[in-house]
Amino acid sequence: MAGALINQAINQISGMLPFLLNMPEKKFWLDYDSEADVLYVNFTKPQRATDSEMLKNGILVRYKDSDVVGFTVLDASKRN
């Protein structure tokens, strides 16, 4: 039987499904650096960005030429 932590994680992931299913790419990788509190979302592996843009909300969008190859979320644990 799943514990309370597992149930909470399942509920949170279930709530994210509509967003995840509408992502521009259907295959992506997530990496979280807990020490830096940074979430990396990559649409290609390896991700070789040639340019990036910092948005006002603290999210860094990474590009290879004109294609978005991923984004970086700063202070990830502090976001709802």
Looking at per-residue pLDDT, the higher value among 40 and 25 belongs to 40
* Structural domains counted in the chain: 1
For residue 24, the enclosing domain spans 4-78
- Whether residue 49 has pLDDT greater than 80: yes
- Whether residue 1 has pLDDT greater than 60: no
Mean pLDDT to the nearest integer, 53-68? 91
Mean pLDDT to the nearest integer, 42-52? 87
DSSP secondary structure letters along the chain? ---HHHHHHHHHHHHHHHHHHTSSSS--EEEEETTTTEEEEESSSS---SEEEE-TTSEEEEEETTEEEEEEEETGGG--
Global model pTM greater than 0.85: no
